[in-house]
Amino acid sequence: MRYFSFLLFAGLLLALGSCRTDFETVASKGELAFSRDTIYLDTVFSNIGSSTYTLKVYNHSKNDINIPTINLGKRSNSKYRMTVDGMTGVNGKEFSNVTLLAKDSLYIFIETTAAATDANPTDFLYTDNIEFDAGTNLQKVELVTLIQDAVFLYPQKFIDGSTETVTINDEKTYGFYLDESDAINGNELNFSNKKPYVIYGYAAVPEGKTVTFAAGARVHFHADSGLIVSKNASLKINGTTSTTDKLEGEVLFEGDRLEPLYDNIPGQWGTIWLQNGTKNNSINHLTLKNATIGLLIENNTDQLTIENSQIYDCTNYGILAKSALITGQNLVINSAGQASLACTYGGDYKFTHCTFNNNWNGNSPTSVLVNNFELGATPEVKNLTQATFNNCIIYGSYSNHLSLSKKDAATFNYSFNNCLIKYFGSSTNALYQFTTDSAHYTNIILNQDPAFYKTSLNNFNIDATSAAFAKGNSSYLIPTDITGATRSLPPDLGAYQTKEFPKKT
């Protein structure tokens, strides 16, 4: 027993001795390797925090090393901050005696919050670097961020600590009313293209007022934010045709995260809400992305005209209309959790040369939904005066991309003329008699591929191989397409006239 205890004790000593090298380090010799030489933190708005970016630092040597210092070049004055393997150091700016084991690596996470005044006035770049060690062993990784100045619109905070609100359906919501004589911003009802706008909470248009968006205006909505157009108020979006991929003439509505990672992420903000009784609304050349509901339109007895516009990547609907009056031309909607276009609770709708697609991943959403009821509403059923679709494409990645639902004996007028439709559903349902019901369907192309250029990039151009090529009826012609190109005769279906593109990859 004593012999066994001696062997156990000796074994423990040997084990401890063999691990001792884990605690012995040699000084760094400036031979660190990095996952990147420069960290580009993409574009951020003035005084709005960035996403977190990662740098990986490697020790390829056979020795455990000690890095005497890891610092931001501007030290405590830097607008960057970082953690090193979970350590915060001195205010996220300076770190001492960091151990990096042999053949191992460590992670550095970097963020920034900087103002436009911190950036270089000629290129709006804010820069710094991460310095590893000093003297002859000094190594650097550059940090670069583009700071964009903006107009910030948000609810006021009152002396008693309460915050400004707006009333939506008798409930108070975090928001504010746009002021045409604001002491700081001037007329908040006129959105120009001089600076982008960032909105916190719901910006509401007061009754009887008109909000106008000039060509090239950029509006970014924070989480749980949006725009409300009140009763008797009006919305005017005055975008124009763009000649480059920068969409310089478009009015752009999207979230306030500018990093490429967020380009196609839905649900980053709320909605554009045209409430009951709005009037004289018009939308031209709008690109709207990443909302929960792109446009929510209810009970507008004045016609909304929406032309040459695009709505992408919305959590629930691209457009949700309730008893609305809408005319749409050269409209493209793609990727929504329930329906790209929903014309519900009756109403009056006419869409010409539009592309309604849905590539939402999961839950088998549809592209076009039309019904004449709303459960729980009073009355529950309303007349569908018309739902007319001319020279349109209704398509997507699932089996059925048209959903028609009629309740009771209320009026339910619908017609599809010269449209390409994807529908593999029941052939006995009276609402979907595409080839025999001439009162509701004329010249329907059923279940043929429109051969969109690249739906993953929201590019719905077609070429001569498309089943929609030259299949339109000239009597419904809109002379130019969504890009301003002249349509040929007979026209193509959808919002785009045929255009040749490089071979798909």
| Every domain of the chain and the residues it spans | 22-148, 151-476
Q: How far is CA 463 from the centre of its chain?
A: 27
> By C-alpha distance, which of 157, 199, 171, 192 is closest to 48?
199
Which residues, 6+ apart, have CB-to-CB distance to 229 below 8 Å?
204, 205, 211, 235, 272, 273, 274, 275, 278, 281
Q: Strands 38-45 and 151-153, how do they pair? A: unpaired
Q: Report yes or no: 125 and 148 within 8 Å, Cβ to Cβ.
A: no
Secondary structure of residue 118 in the 3-state scheme: helix
Q: 147 to each of 43, 127, 458, 465, how far by Cα in Å?
A: 6, 10, 27, 44
> By C-alpha distance, which of 221, 319, 318 is closest to 262?
221
Q: Report yes or no: 344 and 316 within 8 Å, Cβ to Cβ.
A: no
Q: Report yes or no: 360 and 335 within 8 Å, Cβ to Cβ.
A: yes
Rounded CA gap, 313 and 252, in Å?
A: 14
For the stretch 5-63, pLDDT in tens is 444 544 544 444 444 344 588 988 899 999 999 999 989 998 888 999 999 999 999 99
Predicted local distance difference test score (pLDDT) of residue 259: 87
Secondary structure of residue 246 in the 3-state scheme: coil
Rounded CA gap, 346 and 362, in Å?
A: 28
Burial classification of residue 159, based on how many CB atoms lie within 10 Å of its CB (0-12 exposed, 13-18 middle, 19 or more buried) = exposed
CA angle 319-256-129, nearest 5°?
A: 155
Give the Cβ contact number of residue 474 at 10 Å.
12
Six token digits for residue 385: 């005066």
Rounded CA gap, 338 and 185, in Å?
A: 38
Torsion sign (Cα): 66, 69, 72, 73: negative
Long-range contacts, stretch 35-40, CB < 8 angstroms, 24+ apart: 36/141, 37/141, 37/142, 38/141, 38/142, 38/143, 38/144, 39/110, 39/141, 39/142, 39/143, 39/144, 40/144, 40/145
Give pLDDT < 50 ranges for the chain.
Answer: 1-7, 9-10, 12-22
Range list of β-strands (E), 230-316? 234-238, 251-255, 269-274, 282-284, 286-289, 291-298, 304-314
Six token digits for residue 33: 């390797």
Q: Report yes or no: 280 and 302 within 8 Å, Cβ to Cβ.
A: yes
| Torsion angle of the four alpha carbons 253, 254, 255, 260, in this order, in degrees rounded to the nearest 10 | -150
Rounded CA gap, 343 and 323, in Å?
A: 8
Which option is the CATH number for 22-148: 1.20.120.1200, 2.60.40.10, 1.10.150.120, 3.40.50.300?
2.60.40.10
Q: How far is CA 105 from the centre of its chain?
A: 35
